[in-house]
Amino acid sequence: MRLLQLDGKGNPSLTEFFEDDIPEYAILSHRWGAEEVTFKDLTDGTSKDKTGYDKIQLCGEQARRDKLQYFWVDTCCIDKSSSNELAEAINSMFRWYQKAVRCYVYLSDVSTLKRKASDTSAEYTWESAFRVSKWFTRGWTLQELLAPRSVEFFSREGNRIGNKRTLEQQIYEITGIPATALRENPLSQFGIDERFLWAKSRQTTRGEDKAYSLFGIFDVQMPLLYGEGEAKAFQRLREAIDKPSKSKSYPYD
């Protein structure tokens, strides 16, 4: 597992750790946008030219304020040119989020700026944007909401707007995920059908990822077969979840 740290000048650099030696770290949850910083960008020194660099800085600076030396960002801590490394990362992702000391959610479509100085209600307008944030529509962010103990939400300006405990009711109303699932209770306590429903309306760029992003939700591991299509990926996922039962009905059927 590679982790980032900021040097004395605030520049991020990568260090690789093995399972028994991984230090405490923070982790970033976000939606991918244009010009994300990749592993190659970071290693060849061109990362500052990308708009996604600001998210890395935000995560690193917040980790430092929380007295954490290391942090993890999916865009650049995984060398996605290696299919083996990508497969290992996807199968490990839920555990990596689960073991993070803090998870910072960067909401690029939620602002905390007041619209007008005279508008006394404007300081609360972030909540309406929070409720329709596209972060809640993405497949990968489901595990990023459920796995970590501490999930904190930040506006696009980098302002903290709450955590998954203080925003528990809003999150339930947005996602339908009960508070008991947000409070670190084992996901195995919740039915298979219910967990599939949490993910049903979420989207991923690649169809297969709709299934692959649920590995941790169902505590399964599978090889990645990009090109198999969404239907076959879900078929393999269902078989991995409950091999003895072939007659059970799932919401994706």
pLDDT tens, 140-150? 999 999 999 99
Q: What is the model's pLDDT at position 152?
A: 98
Q: What is the model's pLDDT at position 247?
A: 42
Residues 70 and 49 in one domain: yes
Q: What is the model's pLDDT at position 138?
A: 97
Give every residue of the chain whose pLDDT is below 50, as ranges: 122, 245-250, 252-253
Residues 28 and 45 in one domain: yes
Q: What is the model's pLDDT at position 119?
A: 58
| Entry pTM | 0.91
The pLDDT tens digits for 145-178 are 999 999 999 999 999 999 999 999 999 999 999 9
Residues 148 and 113 in one domain: yes
The domain boundary residue, chosen from 167, 185, 203: 185
Residues 66 and 98 in one domain: yes
Q: What is the model's pLDDT at position 8?
A: 87
Domain of residue 202, residue span: 192-253
Position 222: which residue type? Answer: M
Residues 123 and 39 in one domain: yes
Residues 146 and 234 in one domain: no
Name the domain count of the chain. 2
Residues 198 and 181 in one domain: no
Residues 156 and 232 in one domain: no
Q: What is the model's pLDDT at position 240?
A: 96
